[in-house]
Amino acid sequence: MADDPLALFDAWYAEARASEPNDPEAMALATADAAGRPSVRMVLLKGHDARGFVFYTNLDSRKGEDLAANPDASLLFHWKLLRRQVRIEGPVSAVSDAEADVYFATRGRDSRLGAWASEQSRRLPDRAIFEARVAAMRGRFGDGDIPRPPRWSGFRVTPRRIEFWSDREARLHERRLFERDGDGWTEGLLYP
């Protein structure tokens, strides 16, 4: 077998981008707090390379707090039309401020205003409060530049395990597992 799992991910991701009708970059992100209580939610892959898989969030969100306390995570891509999934596990580190600034500048104006207005994961008594906060940010920034909020950044999951799952007839699925071994990878199969 001896494939490079990152090259295999690139190939599968390219196929997903060509065939999946909605959000092929959507991935489930599983974290756990300091007490080990898990939480999972959907986020969007915003970059990947040999260093890992990147997503962005408010650092004060539940996921941000979980990762500050327990910097390890799992990702799951599920591409239903392709009948495939990819599971990634590994340590998490913050992206650089420069990386976060570059990505933040690519977001739509309303998304950037929303990042300033949102107290992500905190209780919101009434939707009108959030909408008023967004309006206040529109007033604050006008037509000018909207810089990245100080508590908004990105994380990179550096894979130590990557599993490629392919659906097969009669639930006789194929599961290929790659595990980090120094600077390289070992590969094997798992029972379905």
pLDDT digits (tens, 9 = 90+) for 43-70: 999 999 999 999 999 999 999 999 999 9
Model confidence at 3, pLDDT cuts 50, 70, 90, reads confident
| CATH superfamily membership of 5-106+150-190 | Electron Transport, Fmn-binding Protein; Chain A (2.30.110.10)
Q: Where are the alpha helices (DSSP H) in the chain?
A: 5-19, 62-69, 97-106, 109-117, 127-141
Q: Report CA-CA distances (Å) from 168 to 78, 80, 120, 149.
A: 15, 13, 40, 46
Catalytic residue among 171, 175, 176, 180: 171
Instruction: Assess contact for 137 and 144: CB atoms under 8 A.
Output: no
Is position 171 annotated as part of the catalytic site? Answer: yes
Domain spans, the chain: 5-106+150-190
Residue 18, judged by CB atoms within 10 A of its CB (0-12, 13-18, 19+), counts as: exposed
